Structure 1
Amino acid sequence: MSRQVRPVVALYERIADAVHDGTYPPGSTLPSEPRLAAELGVSRPALREALLLLQEDGLLTVRRGVGRTVNAHPPRRGFEHIQPLEEQLSAGAPLRVRGLLRAVEEPTDFTTQHLLAPARAELRFWESVLHGEGLAAALSHEWAAPDDVLERAHPAFGQALREVLRDARDAERTSMLAVLAGASRGFSLTAHSGVTATLLGQRRGAQLDRPADTPAVLITQVVRAGDVPVMAAKHMLPTGAPALPVLQSN
């Protein structure tokens, strides 16, 4: 899929990554605008716009006489709530889930990386479109870890998936993340995610009834039970989708 990312968005990501990987640690002061622009090889107007966005998102603070400093507790980027996307995106009533595919598939590069799945593993894969007021709001791809992994790390999740799949109509009206959230009382879960600007492309555009060149946000998410990844997902939100808060405090 062809991707085009606005220079300011890409610059925002570069600086945010530098904050989170410790290049600019909490409490540190960023170089001056001229110096930082030279170091990053970008124009000062583009840098200034990216810095303003970083300030709005809580990563940076401007201190008179000091400059821009990295906040002591910068918020994590990404969709960190372990809550179904259809609820996160709703302003009131949750969006409706329409299942496009409920299948078992072999690992992809994405699931091998994030679920640590061996080459011949069998993974449950769900593809869904989320609808609200007649408009397709998001496309979700969700994968569960192999059954043997779930049996050891989160057996209630594996059992809940099997129970939902016994009724095709129920399975087509719920997301995997909703199943996970409902089965996780008593389980300590953590989530980590990333946010990327992209374009829908032909196939996703057709599924969401939007032009292929529609700008979109791609959210990747991995949920762990303890240290074991039990679910991974990709959520595609096109322009015009309901707002999703993507900055959550630790």
Structure 2
Amino acid sequence: MTMTDRLSFLAAPLARDAGVPLRVQVHSRILDGIRTGALTPGSMIPTETEIGRLLGVSRTVVREALMLLDEDGFIVSRRGIGRFVADAVPEAGLERLRPLEDLLSMPGSVLELRRTQGELQETTSTYIAEELAIPADSAAWFFETVVLRDGQPIALSQEHLPADAPVASLSAGETALSALLDRLGSGVVRFTAGLLGESRAAPLDADPGEPVLIVTQTAKLDGRPIYLAKHMLRAGAGQLSVRQPGQ
């Protein structure tokens, strides 16, 4: 592929009246080039001057867009050499239901699931009962799993399911969502910043005051709520992406 072919995705002019900042448009254009393979993993990114000339924007605008791509893990900077497409580009993540072990896996790293709890227990939380549409005092499955990458604990997963959910034979090497995935319908994911707290810090051997990203997942089976999970992601867990197509 010639350099002209590689840069063809930059040829179309940017919209100047779309109400979208130029740096965001440049970011999207370059990201499309990475996603479509016009810029392959490990290949060098055109210079700020080249990109600016092709798109008709200033180097400052290009620099801001490239900083965002670097921050998001799509490109890497090598001092004195230039910028390159990352060897492992972050995948589209939460556009569909995916188990936590799939979301956190990385090429060249070993991901391990360590089950710390897995049992039927009385539901004492009104929130859990409401999310699963079960009586507050009924039994429900609770699975707690530590996720380790290359031996380092990076996340804690706590999953809740109704007592009749088909997970009694769940293996230690998978989350409940992984076992149910083929049967589930719609799902919802929510993000919250928080702290680990005493009970969640213990399985991770971490400080209870450590800040984490809390990812809450819910899903239905045949229109019935059947899955609730809270995943506590530590700073080393990496990135989760959600695509947001334009209107």
Scaled by the length of structure 2, the TM-score of the pair is 0.56
1:126 to 131, 140, 143: 143
Instruction: Name the SS for the 1:232 alignment partner.
Output: strand
Separation of aligned partners in 1, 2:156 and 2:238: 13
Amino acid at match of 1:87: D
Please tell me whether residue 209 in structure 1 is matched to residue 210 in structure 2. no
Corresponding residue for 2:23?
A: none
Please tell me whether residue 113 in structure 1 is matched to residue 109 in structure 2. no
Pair member with larger Rg: 2
The 1:129/1:246 distance shift into structure 2, 3 A limit, reads farther
Please tell me whether residue 162 in structure 1 is matched to residue 168 in structure 2. yes
Taking every aligned residue pair, what percent have the same amino acid on both sides?
Answer: 30
> What number of residue pairs does the alignment pair up?
158
2:196 to 197, 200, 205: 200
**Once structures 1 and 2 are overlaid, which stretch shifts more, 198-207 or 81-90?**
198-207
Shift in Å at residue 210 of structure 1?
A: 2.4
Instruction: Name the SS for the 1:172 alignment partner.
Output: coil
Gaps of 5+ in 2: 1-17, 21-67, 69-92
Scaled by the length of structure 1, the TM-score of the pair is 0.56
* CA offsets 1:218-249 (integer angstroms, 9 cap, x no match): 01110112421111101000112122224566
Separation of aligned partners in 2, 1:94 and 1:230: 30
* 2:190–2:216 Cα contact (<8 Å) kept: yes
More helix by share: 1
Counterpart mapping for 1:55-74 below 5 A: none
Gaps of 5+ in 1: 1-26, 30-55, 57-77, 151-157, 165-170
Amino acid at match of 2:214: L
* 1:98–1:174 Cα contact (<8 Å) kept: no
* CA offsets 1:84-111 (integer angstroms, 9 cap, x no match): 1011111226621100011111222231
Shift in Å at residue 122 of structure 1?
A: 1.5
Shift in Å at residue 79 of structure 1?
A: 4.2
Please tell me whether residue 244 in structure 1 is matched to residue 240 in structure 2. yes
Q: What's the Cα RMSD here?
A: 2.9
Higher relative contact order (CA 8 A, sep 6+): 1
